[in-house]
Structure 1
Amino acid sequence: MLKHKKIVLFCVAVVLVLFTLTFFTAVHWTIFLLLFLVWLGLTAWGSFDIRLNYFTKAYSSKPNSTTKEIALTFDDGPHEMTEKVLDLLKKFNVKATFFCIGKQIENNPELFKRIISDGHLIGNHSYSHSENFGFFSSQKVVDEITKTNKLVEQLSGIKMNFFRPPFGVTNPMISKAVSETKHLVVGWNIRSLDTVYEDENTIFERVKNKIKPGGIILLHDTSQKSVNVLERLLLFLKSENYSIVAVDELLNLSAYEN
């Protein structure tokens, strides 16, 4: 059973117990309020931290790994900066995983094809990457995933199994949608925040300090600062004798349908 269902059942059980107690003794209303706030806090945390598997199973790392392997992932492309990212990856002979937005694929079809021809893995990152994605109905989420999958299949013949929700947000609607489309949700456990911080040193140090075997790093192929951080990161991982692999190899999962 998913974690949020367990929490809901637990909270309902506590409410019933408290309500029953009101027939025998005074139960202050603040106890009910506190219980509600705890539930609300857990729900919010579970929605925004994909690693918790709160609403749906997400593959965010290779737990308990002792092998110095790590996966590099890039979100929100293909973008004009993707070419620089691909050039760097080729220079270091590294394979990565790109979670692509449907609209961006339409805008940059040749770059998208280069990602594949260079031997990198691709995954679904929705069609629109709307800021309101977390409020979409399950059917609208299905439509976004399906539209991008069809677009990719038309351009490359590839049927993607991996899906990464925009912003890493999960909820019951997204959980229902991925269950219907039968996609595997891929998260991360090393978040660079390269779309939040402006200082390259801050971004690099944040990632470097979280490096450990079996990790999945989240970067974005959408800015020059991320490209600069990537070069430093590739040099650091090489110095630490890490093997950089695609997500399917790290997790031993099939990225594409046969």
Structure 2
Amino acid sequence: MITHKNISLFFIFLLLLLLLLNLYFAINFWWFVVVVSVWFLFNLVGSSLISSNYHVKAFCNNPLETEKKIAITFDDGPSVFTLEVLALLKKYDIKATFFCIGKNVEAHPEIIQQIVDEGHLVGNHSYNHSPFFDFYNAKKISEEIQKTDAVLEKHTSKKINFFRPPYGVTTPSIRRALKITKHKVIGWNIRSLDGGTKNQNLIFNRLIKRVCPGGIVLLHDTASHSVLVLEQFLQFLQQNNYKVISIEELLNLKAYEN
């Protein structure tokens, strides 16, 4: 299994082997550079792909699901656009999971309460969603996660179990923090890229090309173009007999603990 621990042990062994050989033969310095560079590349790719399980186990879909069932998730809210998302979900009788940023929960307590009251699930998406989150040490990461849990639990009255790391990046520090907080990491396998482009046709076509049984969709509830694509997508699912179910049902995991 390709994990951070296994890859690190392998490359440490290679470096030690080169050092040993260097005692008897003149090993070109560039061999060491190549080994370290490949090691760095493995870490970069593994950390960037949440589905790789390189640092932590992430639940990105249910590969055993054969029926047309998927789950829909939203990141980075709550925001004023979350209200439009909620209206659409209510119109199509769909329950989703919202991975919320702690500071946004504090800014919009009435919206997070509406999310919970309407039967949707909420998960932890860090407190600040800082671009430097991946460089935090385990102590600071666990503090951010726990701070966000605290503001969410005012509305759920239950302990939050789901965490989605900012940008979907994982690191050794995140792994160590999660050993403290005990959260389950929820990823995705159907990414809309609506956080990086406003081209609605591109977003919509990307979604429908990737829809498959057991999939987890990643959208954002922070912009008008995402809301417009969401309605198109919900219509597509309806027309193609897809059923949207909760993350709990899809993965057989609990979003909360009493």
Same fold per superposition (TM over 0.5)? yes
- The offset of 1:2, in angstroms, is 7.4
Contact between 2:194 and 2:226, CA under 8 Å: does it hold in 1? yes
Is residue 58 from structure 1 mapped to residue 53 from structure 2 by the alignment? no
Which residue of structure 1 lines up, in the alignment, with residue 142 of structure 2?
A: 142
Structure 2: which 5+ runs fail to align?
none
The AA in structure 2 aligned to 1:46 is: G
Which residue of structure 1 lines up, in the alignment, with residue 170 of structure 2?
A: 170
In 2, Cα distance between equivalents of 1:49 and 1:108: 31
Mark the CA change 1:154 to 1:64 in structure 2 (over 3 Å): closer, same or farther.
Answer: closer
Which residue of structure 1 lines up, in the alignment, with residue 32 of structure 2?
A: 32
Which residue of structure 2 lines up, in the alignment, with residue 257 of structure 1?
A: 257
Superimposed CA distance per residue, residues 11-36 of structure 1 (whole angstroms, 9 cap, x where no aligned partner) = 01111222222233332222211111
Is residue 231 from structure 1 mapped to residue 231 from structure 2 by the alignment? yes
Q: For the aligned residues, what is the CA RMSD?
A: 1.2
The AA in structure 1 aligned to 2:97 is: T
The AA in structure 1 aligned to 2:9 is: L
SS at match of 1:73: strand
Which residue of structure 2 lines up, in the alignment, with residue 89 of structure 1?
A: 89
In 1, Cα distance between equivalents of 2:64 and 2:37: 33
Is residue 154 from structure 1 mapped to residue 157 from structure 2 by the alignment? no
The AA in structure 1 aligned to 2:72 is: L
Contact between 1:2 and 1:56, CA under 8 Å: does it hold in 2? no
In 1, Cα distance between equivalents of 2:26 and 2:67: 57
SS at match of 1:253: coil
SS at match of 1:77: coil
Which residue of structure 2 lines up, in the alignment, with residue 98 of structure 1?
A: 98
- The offset of 1:65, in angstroms, is 2.5
The AA in structure 1 aligned to 2:100 is: C
Which residue of structure 2 lines up, in the alignment, with residue 80 of structure 1?
A: 80
Which residue of structure 2 lines up, in the alignment, with residue 112 of structure 1?
A: 112
Is residue 203 from structure 1 mapped to residue 203 from structure 2 by the alignment? yes
The AA in structure 1 aligned to 2:26 is: A
Which residue of structure 1 lines up, in the alignment, with residue 3 of structure 2?
A: 3
Contact between 1:102 and 1:126, CA under 8 Å: does it hold in 2? yes
Contact between 1:59 and 1:188, CA under 8 Å: does it hold in 2? yes
SS at match of 1:81: helix
Contact between 2:116 and 2:155, CA under 8 Å: does it hold in 1? no
Superimposed CA distance per residue, residues 78-105 of structure 1 (whole angstroms, 9 cap, x where no aligned partner) = 1000000000000000110000111111
The AA in structure 2 aligned to 1:123 is: G
Comparing 34-43 with 58-67, greater Cα deviation is found at 58-67
In percent, how many aligned pairs have the same letter? 49
Structure 1 moving runs of 4+ over 3 Å: none
In 2, Cα distance between equivalents of 1:185 and 1:240: 29
In 2, Cα distance between equivalents of 1:128 and 1:101: 6
Which residue of structure 2 lines up, in the alignment, with residue 242 of structure 1?
A: 242
In 1, Cα distance between equivalents of 2:47 and 2:126: 17
Comparing 148-157 with 4-13, greater Cα deviation is found at 148-157
Please, what TM-score do these two structures have when normalized by structure 2?
0.97
Contact between 1:162 and 1:185, CA under 8 Å: does it hold in 2? yes
Contact between 2:161 and 2:182, CA under 8 Å: does it hold in 1? yes
The AA in structure 1 aligned to 2:228 is: N
In 2, Cα distance between equivalents of 1:194 and 1:117: 26
Contact between 1:75 and 1:99, CA under 8 Å: does it hold in 2? yes
Structure 1: which 5+ runs fail to align?
none
Contact between 1:162 and 1:255, CA under 8 Å: does it hold in 2? yes
Aligned length: 258
Contact between 2:101 and 2:148, CA under 8 Å: does it hold in 1? yes
Which residue of structure 2 lines up, in the alignment, with residue 188 of structure 1?
A: 188
The AA in structure 1 aligned to 2:161 is: N
Superimposed CA distance per residue, residues 23-52 of structure 1 (whole angstroms, 9 cap, x where no aligned partner) = 333322222111111111111111111010
